Amino acid sequence: MEKPQPTLLGQATTYYDEYCPRLLQPLPRSRGRAGLKATAPYGFDVWRLYELTFLNKLNIPCGAIGTICVPAGSPNIIESKSLKLYLGSFTQTKFATLDDVERLICHDLSATLGVAATVKLYPVESQPACFTPQTMPGSLIDITSGVTLTNFAYNPELLVRHDGPRVEETLRTNLLRTLCPVTGQPDHAAVQIRYQGTQINHQELFAYLMSLRLHRGFHEQCVELIYSDLKSRLKLDKLQVLACFTRRGGIDINPLRSDFAVTPEQVMRTLRQ
């Protein structure tokens, strides 16, 4: 496994409560893609913000929620802890309007990512549709009996292409668990897999996804690894992988990689988020 470059993760933390854009830390996407056998032509990383706060021009605290959409083709990703610290630096910073906050975050993120990000902020009680929890569409493949999993080491060889009918179906699991590559802390996600091609054996797919239980990788890297393994080993015609990770530090992260033309609006908020 490639050794990650130094990040703020796992280090003693200094919290800033006045605007500090230098806290944003870019990580090159290329580092996580070096060993992949297949990459998706379309994709986004959608981040939801739940704990943004700042001061208005009368020095009164205000709260907001929001979304950040990053194209999967950006040269960089942003290390998640650095984003949390950066957003925290707005706490005692005065702004005239919520639009001013939105424009500043968009400017700073775009400069760090190397591509234009999309940022949308909302008043806390506005109830935007993208924050409404939904049940993830697809057939549930989670197995609770009848199968024994004996090895949780990452194992793409569990994916075997069988003779069978050609189908288009959408599958899902609530049980993906991976580890932060720096701290070893667990990350949990619901995963949706949409594909066209020879039918996938559901039990083998479930076993493969569970083999990532002790795998270390950033959220974006894990989704791209799943996409690469399924596409290259099962020779699928088209594939889409979405992972909706539960939040940490007031942010949830939702990478989507697809052969289908997709939009960020297809990334739902799941019940655990």
Q: How far apart are CA 15 and CA 59, in angstroms?
A: 20
Single out the residue of 145, 193, 134, 136 nearest to residue 169, CA to CA. Answer: 193
Phi, psi of 93 (to 5 degrees): -100, 135
Catalytic residue (one of 45, 108, 187, 229)? 187
Catalytic residue (one of 180, 229, 252, 259)? 180
Q: How far apart are CA 269 and CA 224, in angstroms?
A: 20
What is the sign of the dihedral through the CA atoms of 209, 83, 51 and 266?
negative
State yes or no: is 180 an active-site residue.
yes
Cα–chain-centroid distance for residue 250? 14
Inter-axis angle of helices 219-234 and 202-210, to 10 degrees?
150
State yes or no: is 20 an active-site residue.
no
CB burial of residue 15 (10 Å; 0-12, 13-18, 19+): exposed
Compute the radius of gyration of the chain from its Cα atoms.
19
Single out the residue of 44, 20, 48, 19 nearest to residue 124, CA to CA. Answer: 48
Phi, psi of 125 (to 5 degrees): -95, 15
CB 92 within 8 A of CB 17: yes
Q: How far apart are CA 165 and CA 29, in angstroms?
A: 36
Catalytic residue numbers read 180, 187
